[in-house]
Amino acid sequence: MNITLNHNPEVIETDYDSITVQELLLMRSFTYKMLIVKVNDALVVKENYSTATVKNGDNVMVIHLMTGG
């Protein structure tokens, strides 16, 4: 499965047509508690990480949020 992750092309190794956001976060080690996730420019809120899906060709953004300001 080929996706764009944070503006870069990425190959996701999977036997399925899509994976959940939660699975993507684990595969790419996004371990911080505070994240922003957008799939094709639509925000995915935390409670939907386990149901929202990422499929071939999707444009995904994952940003770690950190304290400081």
**Binding site residues, another protein, CB under 8 A:** 6-7, 32-36, 38, 41, 43, 45, 61, 63-69
- Give the nearest distance from C-beta 44 to another protein in angstroms: 10
Beta pairing class for 2-5 and 59-64: parallel
- Give the nearest distance from C-beta 10 to another protein in angstroms: 16
- Give the nearest distance from C-beta 14 to another protein in angstroms: 23
Nearer to another protein, 12 or 39 (CB): 39
- The whole-angstrom separation of Cα 29 and Cα 37 is 14
Burial 19-30 (b: 16+ CB within 10 A, else e): bbbbbbbeeeee
